[in-house]
Amino acid sequence: MDPSSLARMYTRFRDAELLWIQQYDRQQQLQKQQQQQQQQQQITAESLENCSLHSGEFAFVLAGLKPAMLVQMPSPSLTLDFKRKVLDQENLFGADGRTHDQSNNATLTLECRLITKDIASQEMPLQGCVLIWSPATIQRHPQAALLHGTINRICPPRTATTSSSQDQDENSRLISESDLAVLLDYPGRLPTTQAEMQQMIEVSYWNQPTPPSPISSASASRNGQVDSEPPQLLTAFAAQPDQIPKIQTHFRTYRDSLRDLFGLNLKLHIQTLAE
C-alpha cells in the first residue's frame, strides 16, 4: 500500500475525530446553558473528558501493526454518533464497510462493522462498539486462524445463519481476554489473581509532538502563540511486570513504524498502581 495513501487516511481520521469532539463539546455547552436551572446530570453522563482519541489506534491498524481496533465511547449512542459522523460521513468507509482512497479509488484493506451481536469479554460488553480490522494484516499473522475465528464470532458474516441453540449458548457470547488481546495486539494481560492485581502496571503509548525550532519558537512567542503541543495518548493497556521486556520490544516496533509513516514521536510510559 502506498505510504502516502496511509498518511492521507490517518490524517482524515484524525481531523474528523477532532472536529466531532469539538462539535460535541459545543453542543454540550449549549445544553448546559439551556438547562442550568434544572441541574440535569444527564449532560455529564456522556462526557468525553476522559475518553482518549482513537486516531492512534487507527494509525496502528493502517500501519499493519494491529490486526484490529475497537471504537468505544462512554455510551452506545455516542459510539453510533461517532460512526455516523466520523467513519461514515467523512467517507472513510464506504457502504460496503471498506475503506476507499478517494485519490485513486483504490480499496484499502480495512473493514468496519458495528457490533450488533450480544457478545462480551470478561471485562466489557462489545455490543454497540465498532470493530475496524485489516484483512491483510490478519492473513499474514502467525495466529491468522484464531483471528478469523474471533472476528467471525464478534461480527458474523452477513450471510451466516446460526441455530437457535447456538444463539442461546453462553460460550458463543463470550470472548476470552487472551483472544481479544491477540486481536487488538496488546502485549500485556489482565490480572487473574489477587497477587497479580497488586502487581498490575498500566502501560501507555503517547505521541509527543516535536518541539518547534528555536527560530520558529521565538517567533511564535512574540506572536503570543503556544510553543509546544501537549502529549497525546494513543493507547493504554494493563500488564504484569514480567511482561516489560516484551512490551519494550513491542513499543520499539510501533515507534519506528509510526515515525516513518506518520511522523509521530512515540513515548512509552509505565506506571504501577502504587504511583
Question: What's 93's DSSP letter?
Answer: B
Distance (Å) of CA 16 to CA 138, 162, 231 = 26, 37, 19
Q: According to the model, what pLDDT value does residue 199 have? A: 93
Q: According to the model, what pLDDT value does residue 51 have? A: 58
Q: According to the model, what pLDDT value does residue 39 have? A: 47
CB 17 within 8 A of CB 25: no
Kindly report the length of the chain: 275
Model pTM above 0.75: yes
Q: According to the model, what pLDDT value does residue 223 have? A: 55
List per-residue pLDDT tens for the chain, 275 residues long: 678 888 988 999 999 999 998 888 877 777 776 665 454 434 333 455 545 689 999 999 999 999 999 999 888 888 999 999 888 876 677 666 777 554 444 445 789 999 999 999 988 999 999 999 999 999 999 999 999 999 999 999 876 555 444 554 666 789 999 999 999 999 999 898 999 999 999 999 999 988 765 554 555 555 555 556 789 999 999 999 999 999 999 999 999 999 999 999 999 999 987 65
Q: What is the DSSP string of 104-116?
A: TTEEEEEEEEE--
Q: According to the model, what pLDDT value does residue 42 have? A: 41
**Torsion, Cα of 78, 82, 84, 87 (10° steps):** -160
Domain boundaries, the chain: 1-185, 187-275
Q: According to the model, what pLDDT value does residue 233 have? A: 92
Q: According to the model, what pLDDT value does residue 15 have? A: 92
Comparing C-alpha atoms, which of 17, 16, 92, 19 is closest to residue 53?
17
Q: What is the CA radius of gyration of the chain?
A: 20
Question: Grid coordinates representing 194?
Answer: 489477587
CB 37 within 8 A of CB 108: no
Alpha carbon distance 265, 275 (integer Å): 25
CB 60 within 8 A of CB 66: yes
